[in-house]
């Protein structure tokens, strides 16, 4: 019996896939088809696959050519599968010519002619129009955003606005986009506003963008007051627009995995969450100079509150802030204590104090620990009473990670995903409430 294997994403199954599977089957007696998992596609930068894994498997099954379907979950699996399933022929389309020659040592490798003028990428583009992004603000994060957005198919960074037109022009020249001085014209140039301006300006910009019928992705902290956050989400809902708070950790695959494991009972009932993020900043930077809205907690608090709110929810019983301030009265280090009906939590942030960045989730049967930079989750461990009992989990975190939130935003806009679960409206509103309570506690 001649055994053949082939692999692919098979998103929006099309004629090219059908013809490939048909010819692959004709090469032998038994065809195994490896369909890529969502995580694997994300890890290799294929971020906008539209069909779920189940749909893609179902579609491959329906062609009637596959004798067996397996899931391809990681790089290096092909080699293992060839051994495991005793494969005689490995085949893929000619777009991969040469790429799998290294497998020739183990089986025959055949590149089949790719069917012309059809691909999943083409179909995805037809199904959805390109979303134009306009950026407000030209700081460090805005620069990183442009590079990351370029990796997500379906969006195009088009324009930038900064009240200081010189900064906007410099930024625009660097990235080959258009600079705007007039806000009205700027809003007309885009479908999605990405807001990366100073914290206190977010509310006004978000409101304007939503009133102009634009979707919004806003850097954290999106709002510093609960009422404002509620109002903006309500406005987005009424206008049928998507409003996303950009806390990148929430959207990265490793963090989603960590939460799934934490909340799945592996470590028993969770009784404590401790999250720490410190990043030493220059005294002259805006983060430490802005006496009203600057400081460690407004800058980094969103990251530390994220695992706490995702695990325990929004109904904390009490909250307490302790700060260490510099001579100007700005918090260079902040500790927040939260008490929930069933457990405790601490968030520690520092721009002027360095500590060990760590996320530690403790339960009745064990704990999860993730080292810095846990906010770009790529590795964590589950440990139990027996020190030898360690489960290790890793997940790829690509580039600066903004690509994950941009990709999720796009899925929401295109209607592939109806509800947010990674960072909900409730999460953002609660965070705004905590920011507000913090500012009040500092007499700001």
Measured from the CB atom, the residue of 119 and 278 that comes closer to ligand CTP is: 119
Check: CB of residue 28 under 8 Å from CB of residue 37: no
Choice between 95 and 234, CB closer to ligand CTP: 95
Task: Say how far apart CA 24 and CA 276 lie, in whole Å.
Answer: 52
Which residue's C-beta sits nearest to ligand CTP?
A: 93
The binder of ligand CTP chosen from 3, 4, 18, 20 (CB under 6 A): 20
How many angstroms separate the CA atoms of 366 and 343, rounded? 15
Distance CA 344, CA 302 (A): 17
- Specify the residue, 97 or 394, whose C-beta has the smaller distance to ligand CTP: 97
- Two tokens, residue 354: 């360095």
Q: Is residue 65 involved in binding ligand CTP (CB under 6 A)?
A: no
Of 96 and 393, which has the nearer Cβ to ligand CTP?
96
d(Cα 92, Cα 310) in Å, to the nearest integer? 42
Q: Residue 255 is inside which H or E element, if any?
A: helix 253-263
Binding test (CB under 6 A) with ligand CTP, winner from 4, 5, 8, 148: 8
Q: Order across the sheet with 131-136: list the strands.
A: 178-180, 155-161, 131-136, 192-195, 215-219, 243-246
Segment interacting with ligand CTP, rule: CB under 6 A, options 3-11, 270-278, 306-314, 419-427: 3-11
Q: Is 44 in the site for ligand CTP (CB under 6 A)?
A: no
Q: Do the beta carbons of residue 277 and residue 305 sit within 8 Å?
A: no
> Is residue 239 near ligand CTP by the rule CB under 6 A?
no
- What angle is formed at CA 301 by the lines to CA 298 and CA 303, rounded to 5 degrees? 130
Binding footprint of ligand CTP, residue count (CB under 6 A)? 17
Neighbour-count burial for 395-406, b at 16+ CB within 10 Å, e otherwise: bbbbeebbbbbb
| Site membership for ligand CTP, residue 78 (CB under 6 A) | no
The nearer residue to ligand CTP, 112 or 258, going by C-beta atoms, is 112
C-alpha–C-alpha distance, residues 261 and 242, integer Å: 28
What track of x and - describes contact with ligand CTP for positions 92 through 121 (by CB under 6 A)?
A: xx-xx-----------------xx--xxxx
Of 7-15, 215-223, 239-247, 284-292, the window that binds ligand CTP (rule: CB under 6 A) is 7-15
> 94 or 129: whose CB is closer to ligand CTP?
94
Q: Is 33 in the site for ligand CTP (CB under 6 A)?
A: no
- Which residues contact ligand CTP (rule: CB under 6 A)? 8-11, 16-17, 20, 92-93, 95-96, 114-115, 118-121
């Amino acid at each position: 019996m001649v055994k053949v294997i082939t692999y692919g994403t098979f998103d929006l199954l099309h004629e090219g896939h059908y013809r490939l599977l048909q010819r692959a089957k004709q090469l032998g007696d038994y065809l195994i088809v490896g369909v890529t998992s969502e995580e694997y596609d994300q890890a290799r930068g294929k971020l906008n696959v539209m069909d779920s894994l189940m749909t893609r498997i179902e579609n491959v099954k329906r062609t009637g050519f596959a004798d067996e379907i397996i899931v391809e979950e990681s790089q290096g699996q092909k080699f293992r599968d060839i051994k495991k399933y005793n494969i005689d022929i490995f085949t893929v389309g000619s777009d991969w010519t040469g790429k799998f020659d290294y497998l020739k040592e183990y089986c025959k490798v055949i590149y089949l002619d790719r069917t012309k003028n059809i691909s999943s990428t083409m179909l995805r583009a037809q199904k959805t129009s390109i979303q134009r992004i306009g950026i407000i603000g030209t700081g460090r994060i805005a620069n990183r955003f442009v590079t990351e957005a370029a990796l997500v198919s379906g969006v195009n960074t088009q324009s930038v606005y900064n009240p200081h037109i010189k900064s906007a022009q410099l930024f625009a020249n660097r990235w080959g986009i258009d600079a705007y001085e007039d806000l009205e014209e700027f809003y007309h140039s885009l479908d999605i506003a990405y807001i990366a301006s100073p914290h206190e300006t977010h509310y006004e910009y978000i409101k304007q963008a939503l009133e102009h019928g634009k979707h919004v992705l806003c850097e954290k902290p999106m709002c510093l007051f609960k009422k404002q956050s509620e109002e903006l989400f309500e406005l987005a809902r009424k206008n049928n627009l998507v409003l996303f708070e950009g806390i990148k950790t929430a959207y990265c695959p490793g963090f989603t995995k960590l939460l799934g494991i934490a909340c799945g009972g592996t470590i028993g009932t969770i009784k404590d969450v401790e999250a720490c993020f410190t990043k030493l900043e220059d005294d002259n930077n805006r983060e430490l100079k802005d006496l009203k809205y600057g400081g460690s907690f407004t800058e980094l608090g969103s990251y530390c509150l994220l695992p706490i709110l995702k695990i325990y929810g929004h109904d904390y019983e009490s909250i307490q802030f302790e700060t260490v301030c510099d001579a100007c009265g700005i918090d260079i280090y902040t500790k927040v204590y939260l008490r929930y009906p069933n457990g405790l939590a601490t968030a520690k942030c520092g721009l002027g104090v360095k500590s060990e960045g760590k996320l530690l989730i403790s339960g009745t049967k064990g704990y999860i620990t993730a080292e810095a930079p846990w906010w770009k989750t790529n590795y964590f461990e589950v440990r139990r009473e027996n020190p030898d009992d360690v489960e290790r989990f890793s997940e790829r975190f690509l580039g600066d990670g903004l690509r994950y939130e941009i990709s999720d935003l796009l899925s929401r806009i295109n209607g592939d995903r109806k509800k947010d679960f990674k960072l909900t409206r409730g999460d953002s509103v609660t965070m705004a409430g905590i920011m507000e309570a913090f500012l009040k506690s500092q007499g700001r």
